Chains A and B, each alone.
Chain A
């Protein structure tokens, strides 16, 4: 596997569920970058993300990972090369933490992963390996979810509102830890979030979606300086105002 994650390219990717959900998106995600997909609910960001690992099949357009069309071959084989983390986590309740983390390599018949090392990566104690998911807190469960996604050594990570259900402190800690892992492992990460502050703080690049289209594509710095267009400005305004208000309180 390459030193850093693969490039992901969208060419005219379209999907409709009755109404148009994703409308001819063209975009290239640079290898090794952490890209945030933001936008209101129903903007099409989850649909766009889920077309990358074919949990949703596009109606039109082409989607490539490292130059290879995702439509080639059976979907399970594609998904085994991609880490997937989502809000409701979906740990297997009948398996221990270790069995959950080892599940993707087991499914791919890809040997046994180093559970201790993976637990350490997500900052969980080694003795959690034998616990069952129902004995963990929400934050601990999502750490296991991240470890599971990393277990096959996949370099492309898809994260769908990964930390959305967690309390702010846990969310901040896991978010920063993830950014750390992203850099250390040289991943390509695409993260859907509705939280612009999270996107600005974690991502290299922010894609704003509205009505199935990408309406802004900029770095966090460009976003904050108001160069990314009206939709982006509206979304950035909220955390910016909150930050100023907190700063004012402090004085």
Chain B
């Protein structure tokens, strides 16, 4: 519960900051546009065009934009979410400021001019109070939109109620998804209700509803700020990419850091390239990546090297961030089949492959790993078909496929009792799970002491079982619970 509360607090502050910035822009711009039809057309056109960009894409676009700005401006976390959500909130506010001012009775404006009001007096005494209910209605619309869209901030590394939604979506934990949805919907409804009171107070000139709404909003914001003060503990951020294993490992690491006295927060559901960049910038402090991913995708090396050379190369590449060490298992592409067919490695497979059918995930057949295996072993299958992961395992089970592509740490390998074929030619690159630490903590002994016991301590069998606990269809557990199980099954060095 306390985690949801803290995410809700972040969610509220992010939304409020975005709405505040949008209002700061929309008010003067809307007032200027209300009396200038061509400016109004331009401004509303731009705001409308922004609105047509899907919220997720708008957030994603701010990441490269802020990277281009550079100069230490953080490209992840609060800043891109704040800016994108502000833009998103602009249209309903602008539209209603323009409509509110344009909707004023011309006789009232003529009277205001006729009795000698200056422009500023007219704005303060006449236009602002009369347009306020319409402007407030726009703020309400923007607020509901923004609180909904703020769940997407999770994807650029800003904490929000989207965290349980995205985590639940990846691990198919619908209770988590529902928790995030309900919390964000409740927040939107509450905010809308309070603003409706203020709008009513403005329209009917009812003091009490103005007060009630205003006090409600103020209390909500104060409560959201409460977690920010008081806690003098140093907060560290654990990152995770967007699949079950990552969520479990993040919780495993987080639990150790908490035990060492750190306040821990999580940035989960990060894209692969985003996660590494976030670590190097210090937006996240620790996470697990895979040697082959960094080797190929970030360092752009195409030839596999020996494991030791690969790890040394990555450690050098990551400076001043640190590679603490490999965890002891790999999450690599591999070929797997049912046990008991007398085939132990890819060489053995090659001789019988022409009579077998290959089932692959949607990506595998177009990846360099597949081409490497093909050319190293001369693999040719009778047929090859791509499946979505769940159906790929079903195809193997039902005999529609004889060999499948798999991730070596996938829980279903243990659950379905599959044999992973060895790769004696080392055609497939290593995908050692490696523990990475941000530059801030690369020489922090207390921090490193807390996480170092994980190095070499997670055998692939344990990781598979933990993954399966989260991935299986029935009786699934949360990543947190799987992490607890994994913590109890670490290999003692």
Contact B108 A76 (CB under 8 A): no
Contact B115 A92 (CB under 8 A): no
> Within 8 Å of chain B (Cβ to Cβ): is A88?
yes
> Within 8 Å of chain B (Cβ to Cβ): is A199?
no
> Within 8 Å of chain B (Cβ to Cβ): is A77?
yes
Q: A80-B115, A84-B114 are in contact. Are A93 and B121 (CB under 8 A)?
A: no
Contact A84 B115 (CB under 8 A): yes
Contact B114 A93 (CB under 8 A): no
> Within 8 Å of chain B (Cβ to Cβ): is A104?
yes
Contact B115 A88 (CB under 8 A): no
Q: Sort A-B residue pairs by CB-CB distance and give the 8 closest, nearest first.
A: A90-B111, A79-B116, A80-B116, A88-B107, A84-B114, A90-B107, A104-B115, A76-B116
Closest to B114 in A: A84
Q: Which residues of A contact B109 (CB under 8 A)?
A: 90
Which residues of A54-101 are within 8 A (CB) of B?
55, 74-80, 84, 86, 88-94
> Within 8 Å of chain A (Cβ to Cβ): is B373?
no
Contact B115 A55 (CB under 8 A): no
13 A-B contacts (beta carbon < 8 Å): A75-B116, A79-B113, A79-B115, A84-B111, A86-B110, A86-B111, A89-B111, A90-B105, A90-B107, A90-B111, A91-B108, A92-B111, A92-B112
> How close is A137's CB to chain B, nearest CB, in angstroms?
17
> Within 8 Å of chain A (Cβ to Cβ): is B118?
yes
Binary B-proximity of A107-119 (CB < 8 A = 1, otherwise 0): 1100000000000
Q: Which residues of B contact A86 (CB under 8 A)?
A: 107, 110-111, 114
Bound-complex Cα distance A41 to B113 (A): 24
Contact B130 A93 (CB under 8 A): yes
Contact A92 B116 (CB under 8 A): no
Contact A77 B105 (CB under 8 A): no
Which residues of B441-477 are within 8 A (CB) of A?
none
**Which one of B108, B116, B118, B205 lies within 8 Å of A90 (CB-CB)?**
B108
Q: Which residues of B contact A77 (CB under 8 A)?
A: 116
Closest to A158 in B: B114
Q: How large is the interface on A (under 10, 10 to 19, 20 to 34, 35 or more residues)?
A: 20 to 34
Binary A-proximity of B73-117 (CB < 8 A = 1, otherwise 0): 000000000000000000000000000000001111111111111
> How close is B123's CB to chain A, nearest CB, in angstroms?
13
Binary B-proximity of A7-22 (CB < 8 A = 1, otherwise 0): 0000000000000000
> Within 8 Å of chain B (Cβ to Cβ): is A193?
no
20 additional contacts (CB under 8 A) given A55-B110, A86-B111: A55-B114, A78-B116, A79-B113, A79-B114, A79-B115, A84-B111, A84-B114, A86-B114, A88-B110, A89-B107, A90-B105, A90-B107, A90-B108, A90-B110, A91-B111, A92-B126, A93-B105, A93-B108, A107-B117, A107-B121
> Within 8 Å of chain B (Cβ to Cβ): is A148?
yes
> Within 8 Å of chain A (Cβ to Cβ): is B20?
no
> How close is B235's CB to chain A, nearest CB, in angstroms?
48
Contact B115 A94 (CB under 8 A): no
Q: A76-B117, A107-B117 are in contact. Are A90 and B112 (CB under 8 A)?
A: yes
Which residue numbers of A lie inside 8 Å of B, CB to CB? 53, 55, 74-80, 84, 86, 88-94, 103-104, 107-108, 148
> How close is A160's CB to chain B, nearest CB, in angstroms?
9
Bound-complex Cα distance A205 to B106 (A): 31
Bound-complex Cα distance A53 to B110 (A): 12
> How close is B286's CB to chain A, nearest CB, in angstroms?
58
Q: Which residues of A contact B54 (CB under 8 A)?
A: none
Bound-complex Cα distance A112 to B108 (A): 22
Closest to B203 in A: A94
> How close is B160's CB to chain A, nearest CB, in angstroms?
39
Q: Which residues of A contact B316 (CB under 8 A)?
A: none
Q: Which of B115, B121, B126, B129 has the most CB of A within 10 A?
A: B115
Q: Which of A53, A86, A90 has the most CB of B within 10 A?
A: A90
Bound-complex Cα distance A80 to B114 (A): 8
Q: Which residues of A contact B116 (CB under 8 A)?
A: 75-80, 104, 107-108
Bound-complex Cα distance A79 to B121 (A): 14
Closest to A91 in B: B111
Q: Which residues of A contact B115 (CB under 8 A)?
A: 79-80, 84, 103-104, 107, 148
> How close is B405's CB to chain A, nearest CB, in angstroms?
70
Bound-complex Cα distance A103 to B126 (A): 11
Q: A90-B108, A107-B121 are in contact. Are A55 and B205 (CB under 8 A)?
A: no
> How close is A49's CB to chain B, nearest CB, in angstroms?
11
Binary A-proximity of B202-216 (CB < 8 A = 1, otherwise 0): 000100000000000
Closest to A105 in B: B115
Q: A76-B118, A94-B205, A107-B121 are in contact. Are A55 and B113 (CB under 8 A)?
A: yes
Q: Which of B105, B116, B117, B118 has the most CB of A within 10 A?
A: B116
Q: Which of A77, A91, A94 has the most CB of B within 10 A?
A: A94
Bound-complex Cα distance A94 to B117 (A): 16
Bound-complex Cα distance A103 to B113 (A): 12
Q: Which residues of B contact A92 (CB under 8 A)?
A: 108, 111-112, 125-126, 130
Q: Which residues of B contact A79 (CB under 8 A)?
A: 113-116
Bound-complex Cα distance A55 to B109 (A): 11
Q: Which residues of A contact B121 (CB under 8 A)?
A: 76, 107
Contact A53 B114 (CB under 8 A): yes
> How close is B176's CB to chain A, nearest CB, in angstroms?
49
Bound-complex Cα distance A70 to B111 (A): 19
Bound-complex Cα distance A91 to B126 (A): 10
Closest to A74 in B: B118
Closest to A79 in B: B116
Q: Which residues of B contact A55 (CB under 8 A)?
A: 110, 113-114
Bound-complex Cα distance A79 to B119 (A): 13
Q: Which residues of A contact B129 (CB under 8 A)?
A: 94
> How close is A155's CB to chain B, nearest CB, in angstroms?
15
> How close is A158's CB to chain B, nearest CB, in angstroms?
8
> How close is A118's CB to chain B, nearest CB, in angstroms?
14
Q: Which residues of A contact B112 (CB under 8 A)?
A: 90, 92
> How close is B201's CB to chain A, nearest CB, in angstroms?
12
Q: Which residues of B contact A53 (CB under 8 A)?
A: 114
Q: Which of A76, A86, A91 has the most CB of B within 10 A?
A: A76
Closest to B202 in A: A94
Bound-complex Cα distance A78 to B114 (A): 10
> How close is A162's CB to chain B, nearest CB, in angstroms?
12
Bound-complex Cα distance A93 to B204 (A): 11
Bound-complex Cα distance A75 to B115 (A): 10
> How close is A127's CB to chain B, nearest CB, in angstroms?
20
Q: Which residues of A contact B106 (CB under 8 A)?
A: 88
Bound-complex Cα distance A91 to B109 (A): 10
Bound-complex Cα distance A22 to B113 (A): 22
